[in-house]
Homo-oligomer: A and B are copies of this chain.
Amino acid sequence: MKRGHLAILTRTDEAPGLPDRAEAVRVAEAILFAAPAPMSADEIAARLPQGADVAAVLADLRATYAGRGVNLVRVAGRWAFRTASDLAYVLARDAVEPRRLSRAAMETLAIIAYHQPVTRAEIEEIRGVATSKGTLDTLLETGWIRLRGRRRAPGRPVTYGTTPTFLDHFGLDAVGDLPGLDELKGAGLLEGRVPQELSVPIPSDDLALREDEAPLDDDLFAPLEIEAGEGGA
C-alpha cells in the first residue's frame, strides 16, 4: 500500500538485493487490469521492476483477489482478471448470449478438444454420423478450433485442434484441465482406432505438429473441400 511518490523513489534508488515486492504487485495488478487479453508471465515480467520474482508476484496477486468480486485466473497458460463466476447472476444482464451451439456442434467440439489432433473421419467414427461441413465451419468461426496440419496417412486428412481462445472461453489453463479427462483416459476411451503405436491418449493443442502430422502447406484455404472427398476412403 504505498503511494506514488514513494514508488518512484524505490525505482530509482533500488535497494540492492530485494526489489520492492509491493510495488511489483501494484505494477502487475495495473498491467493485468488494463490488458485487453490474457498475458503470459513473461510479458508481465518484462514490465515489472528489475529483479522482481514474477511467479511470487502473481501468487500474491492471486491470493489478494481470491474471494473478491474479481479474481486472477490462469487461462490458456496466461493470466487474466475475470469476474468471480458466482456473480454471473448479477452480470448476466450485460451478457450478450454467446451463440448457442447445436448439440452436434458441441459434441464435435468436445471430440476435437479431447482427441486432438483429430481428423474429420475420426470425429465421424466416434459420433457414428457424418459431420456436416456447416458444423465445422461454425466451430472454426467461433475461433475455438483450428486446422492444425495434415495426418501423415492416405488422403492426408486435415487434423483439427483447439485454440487458446477455446481455453479462454471455457476458463481452462490447458487442455490437460478438460473436465473428466482423467476418467476418459482411465477408461481407455481416448485411444483412437488410428495408428496405435503413435497415438498418445492425451489431447494436445501444442502448436508443434505431432510426428504423424504434416504442415497444412499452401492448400490452407481449401482444406474442407479436399477433405470432403476423403470421407468414403
How many chain A residues touch the partner (CB < 8 A)? 36
Q: How far is the CB of A46 from chain B (nearest CB, A)?
A: 10
Quick one: which of B25, B67, B93 contacts A69, CB cutoff 8 A? B25
Cα–Cα distance between A35 and B28 once the two chains are bound (Å): 20
Q: How far is the CB of A232 from chain B (nearest CB, A)?
A: 42
Quick one: which of B6, B8, B91 contacts A30, CB cutoff 8 A? B91
A4–B69 CB distance below 8 A = no
Q: Which 6 A-B pairs have the closest CB atoms?
A: A4-B86, A29-B69, A26-B69, A30-B69, A1-B67, A30-B83
B86–A5 CB distance below 8 A = yes
Quick one: which of B27, B83, B89 contacts A87, CB cutoff 8 A? B27
Q: Does A94 contact B (CB under 8 A)?
A: yes
Cα–Cα distance between A29 and B4 once the two chains are bound (Å): 23
Contacts of A90 in B (CB 8 A): 27, 30-31, 47
Quick one: which of B9, B83, B93 contacts A67, CB cutoff 8 A? B9
Quick one: which of B29, B34, B66, B94 contacts A68, CB cutoff 8 A? B29
| Chain A contact residues, CB within 8 Å of chain B | 1-9, 25-31, 33-35, 47, 66-70, 81, 83-87, 89-91, 93-94
Cα–Cα distance between A93 and B36 once the two chains are bound (Å): 13
The DSSP consensus for interface residues of chain A is helix
A84–B26 CB distance below 8 A = yes
B33–A89 CB distance below 8 A = no
Contacts of A84 in B (CB 8 A): 3-4, 26, 30
Quick one: which of B5, B25, B34, B93 contacts A91, CB cutoff 8 A? B34
B91–A26 CB distance below 8 A = no
